[in-house]
Structure 1
Amino acid sequence: MSILDIKLPNRILKALRLPQNNPRRQQIRVLKKLLRKARFTAFGQQYRFDEILLSKHPGKKFQELVPTYNYNKIHKDWWHKTLEGIPDICWPGKIRYYALSSGTSEAASKYIPVTNDLLSGNKIVMIKQLLSLRNYENIPYSSIGKGWLTLGGSTDLQKEGPGYYAGDLSGITQKKAPFWFQPFYKPGKKIAKQKDWNKKLEEIVDKAPEWDIGFLVGVPAWIQMCMEMVIERYKLNNIHEMWPNLAFFVHGGVSFEPYKKGFERLLGKPITYIETYLASEGFIAYQDRQFAKGMRLVTSEHIFMEFVPFDDKNFDANGDMIDNPEALMIHEVEEGKDYALLISTSAGTWRYLIGDTLRFVDKERCEIVITGRTKHFLSLVGEHLSVDNMNKAIQLASEQMNICIPEFTVAGVPYGSFFAHHWFVACNDQVDKQRLTRLIDEKLKELNDDYAVERKSALKEVMLDVLTEEQFMEFMRSKGKVGGQHKFPRVLKGKMLEDWQAFLKKELVP
């Protein structure tokens, strides 16, 4: 039986048949739905949701009356009350689940509220994405009915505080997954509960011959590690000798391009790559057609979005947003410009800075690409180097040298009375370090005019160290950041940079 043949509940079928209106109308409808549901909460009463609902222009009124938030601010003002078990704070009822999200730059875990309404919206988007496979050409539909190997967090959630559970969103999602998906889900309930990431991988490798996998789902680095372990254990030439029906890789969280070359070395035949944007705060976008320029924003379900131009007017030098930024709605954005994303969701996040930056590549289709993080950019002297620039430069340089660079990170460092960029790249191939440094520098000059200008003035040097992929992974293990949701930060600053330098000093001692 194919997963596309399953009879879905009527409420989901109704949601999937929503008419395709223009994105502006869809988003206003979503906003009104959220406001109506939360108008009797403490947050809704303080910020006069009833008044917003009666307004002729609810989107503008919402922006006028409700302040913007980052995690620290909304936790201090509101969410700490929900963690104490108080109901009806930012969303009706008590919050029973929290997604733990440390991001890639902060040590302390963030507790992101997860509600049944949010999970329901996420499920509808997941089904829509699955149905969008009909838009793809020459794909093996038989593979859709095979196993879905998902490398995510443990479903054995930790009980904390007055009656709530915390864990990775992937673990919460699987724990609350619909019954009809269970036969397809791998690695199964027992292994999914395993909290020790290394043990989980070993158990997956043990079970690999028993499964017929059609989909791989997860962060590229960890999926690649899993495939390498299977190939090594069973002395295979490629992963398709174990799973001949493997046809899809659903990925997200980081750009896939740096991993692609190394990833494809493990395959016996081409597969279809599908990008998603599923954050702890909700399912935001997904690739809905083959060879799309980007991912399509989810505009008609459970998330209202605003877009803050990522520039010096709205953000300071540390990447912190000002108190009253310029915030645009979806019909006001322009293609080719970087925006920081604010979301309001069915879990009580209101005008919340999620921390990602994105760019519209097709406004009519609401297609976006993720360009980085508000905190993960380098602008020591005005070079305004984005993660998108870095990814592209690494991709072009590695293609030109025919090498694989699955991981990298960059730090801005003093250089005499001026400044330098210090790159750290993971590569297990033989590398001409000087040539690679020169190529990355040249590609960045081509990609970024500000960088090219500053390389002639205050940005005096580019340095580069070549490490192994295992060293990058070992650093993540030392920080307790192993598993499906954790990604290596592309830019290192502050405490994380200090820890990285201390780690390397210990690693490189003869």
Structure 2
Amino acid sequence: MAILGKLVKAGIDLTAKLQSTEDNPKHAQENQLKDLLNQAKNTAFGKYYGFEEILKSEDPVSAFRQEVPIFTYETLHSQWWERQERLKDITWPGKPDFFARSSGTTGKTSKRIPITDDFISSMRSVGTSMINSLHLFDFPESLFESEILMLSSSADLEENKQGFREGEISGINVSNFPNWYDIFYRPGKEIAAISDWDERVDAIAEQAPEWNIGAIAGIPSWVLLMLQRIIKRYQLNSIHEIWPNFQAFASGGVAFETYRKDFEKVCKSPITILDTYLASEGFIAFTSKPGTMAMKMALSHGYFFEFIPFDERGYEESGELNAEPLVLGIDEVKVGEEYVLLLSSCAGAWRYAIGDVIRFESLSPPQIKITGRTKFFLNVVGSQLSEEKMDTAILELAEAHKTTINEYMVAAIKNEAGEYIHQWVLVSDVTAEGLGENLDKILKSANKNYAVARSKALRDISVKVISKEQYTNFLAQSNKKGGQTKTPKVMKEEKMKALLRFIDQA
């Protein structure tokens, strides 16, 4: 196995050197758009919006923006994707064999997003680029001799009467792994197909001593629970007692920082954290170099990106898109500014606002961080709290109380007097005493808009603390337990009140 590790690492180093020359970001994106338009020009969508004519124009990017409107999921699905479930050549050539159900962090129901063969290939291509970037991290050869554990949603996909299969994107990816992946992929397709989360984790724990895990990929909340269950089952002090070569964790789905200390508790040796931006809509970005959690954008893998400033130039204070928002290209964005991402892809998404808010950390190469979602922006009474600001406040609060707080939920709700308050629910083992007052002080100090809101329409702040067990039980009741499930940090009032009722009944 030692010689295999040497060969694999040498191969990655060589491939990275051969691919080190990259196109100018603007040119790369222009080429991606032309390629997407050319492939889809004979689809119903392409004919309706005149892709053939756009390609003939002197400035295809400007023509594309002029002819094709911005779509939300609701408009794209109702006008086009719903037909693509039954018919071919609607927004992309052919008829998709798969539709991805989103994990449902927003909205009342899960979204259903087409997954084409070209799209699956593009995600593998981005994954390959991420692997090729590992040569910069100077990992030891033992990593390349070990196995990768991917904690996905269930790979047991549902057969739809329209002739396609559906499930969460991670389950679709696993179900499409070629057989030779079995050499290094764990837990394997058989265990990955177990639909019940607890049964799947129990099966992983049963097999854990037989594996040589060097890297893990998944959402940190569920990976942490899995590691804790394995440690408890075998009465270990750390996960490294059973997997000594565990060296890298590819995190995704939610911000990692609120989980960092708990990961450190279950690990005897330091591990490298790689962030990934892998959604139902695409594998958009990944950490490509050490020393940062910023992610390099996948500019040459079947995606065309546009950016709407997440301020008055693009969005109303309510979080709704302006009637005529400013739209920028990759060559027009600025470091440190926040943007809402528009995506066109080889899955037949066109100028699709997927709801994520990003911030550019560098432009050469373009690297980003996810700062939240448009619907995770708490601004009912002018408090203007982004997910990133709330994460930072929760980390400071946890530090002050010498504890960890992995998950939290918050909503603006009305009290008995009809006044707005912020209701927080924190997942921790600390007592609630003093948390509300301290959290309020932290937010006032860090955010002047919040401080102003607290002096006017935002009358109070209330904090409840629940255990991890209560939290997972709440998710189980709403069928959102495990895999790629993400709970909205900012809840609607109705959802928060349902959570509060659950807490009171527990």
Q: Tell me the TM-score normalised to structure 1 length.
A: 0.93
In structure 2, relative to structure 1, the CA distance for the partners of 1:217 and 1:118 (3 Å cut) is same
Query: Percent same amino acid among aligned pairs?
Result: 38
Contact 2:25 2:330 in 1 (8 A): yes
Note the C-alpha offset of 1:414: 2.3
Alignment of 1:65-144 (within 5 A): 65-84=67-86, 86-137=87-138, 139-144=139-144
In structure 2, relative to structure 1, the CA distance for the partners of 1:472 and 1:74 (3 Å cut) is same
Contact 1:157 1:165 in 2 (8 A): yes
> Deviation per CA, 1:66-105, whole angstroms, max 9, x where unpaired?
0111111111100111112x10000001111111114212
Matched, 1:427 2:425: no
Partner of 1:239: 239
SS of 2:266's partner is coil
Partner of 1:490: 489
Note the C-alpha offset of 1:418: 3.9
Q: How many angstroms apart in 2 are the aligned matches of 1:15 and 1:82?
A: 41
Q: How many angstroms apart in 2 are the aligned matches of 1:243 and 1:286?
A: 25
SS of 2:112's partner is strand
Contact 2:102 2:280 in 1 (8 A): yes
SS of 1:283's partner is strand
Unmatched 5+ residue regions in structure 1?
A: none
Note the C-alpha offset of 1:438: 3.0
SS of 1:404's partner is coil
What letter matches 2:351 in structure 1? Answer: R
Q: How many angstroms apart in 1 are the aligned matches of 2:409 and 2:162?
A: 40
Matched, 1:5 2:8: yes
Note the C-alpha offset of 1:453: 2.3
> Deviation per CA, 1:205-240, whole angstroms, max 9, x where unpaired?
111111111111100111011011101111111111
What letter matches 1:115 in structure 2? Answer: T
What letter matches 1:311 in structure 2? Answer: D
Q: How many angstroms apart in 2 are the aligned matches of 1:349 and 1:495?
A: 31
Contact 1:67 1:324 in 2 (8 A): no
SS of 2:359's partner is strand
Greater shift in the superposed pair: 97-106 or 385-394: 97-106
Contact 1:82 1:94 in 2 (8 A): yes
Alignment of 1:203-282 (within 5 A): 203-282=203-282
Alignment of 1:98-497 (within 5 A): 98-137=99-138, 139-292=139-292, 294-312=294-312, 314-316=314-316, 318-415=318-415, 416=417, 418-428=419-429, 430-431=430-431, 433-434=433-434, 436-497=435-496
Q: How many angstroms apart in 1 are the aligned matches of 2:90 and 2:496?
A: 37
What letter matches 2:59 in structure 1? Answer: H
What letter matches 1:68 in structure 2? Answer: I
Q: How many angstroms apart in 2 are the aligned matches of 1:57 and 1:385?
A: 38
Contact 2:9 2:141 in 1 (8 A): no
Contact 2:8 2:144 in 1 (8 A): no
Matched, 1:32 2:34: yes
Give the superposed CA RMSD. 2.1
Note the C-alpha offset of 1:140: 2.5
Note the C-alpha offset of 1:16: 7.9
What letter matches 1:94 in structure 2? Answer: K
Q: How many angstroms apart in 1 are the aligned matches of 2:439 and 2:338?
A: 22
Q: How many angstroms apart in 2 are the aligned matches of 1:115 and 1:433?
A: 52
SS of 1:492's partner is coil
In structure 2, relative to structure 1, the CA distance for the partners of 1:336 and 1:442 (3 Å cut) is farther
Note the C-alpha offset of 1:183: 0.8
Q: Tell me the TM-score normalised to structure 2 length.
A: 0.94
Q: How many angstroms apart in 1 are the aligned matches of 2:288 and 2:164?
A: 35
What letter matches 2:189 in structure 1? Answer: K
Q: How many angstroms apart in 2 are the aligned matches of 1:3 and 1:459?
A: 60
Q: How many angstroms apart in 1 are the aligned matches of 2:7 and 2:301?
A: 21
Aligned residues: 499
Contact 2:103 2:168 in 1 (8 A): no
In structure 2, relative to structure 1, the CA distance for the partners of 1:14 and 1:391 (3 Å cut) is closer
Partner of 2:46: 44
Unmatched 5+ residue regions in structure 2?
A: none
Q: How many angstroms apart in 1 are the aligned matches of 2:282 and 2:19?
A: 21
Note the C-alpha offset of 1:458: 2.2
Note the C-alpha offset of 1:309: 1.5
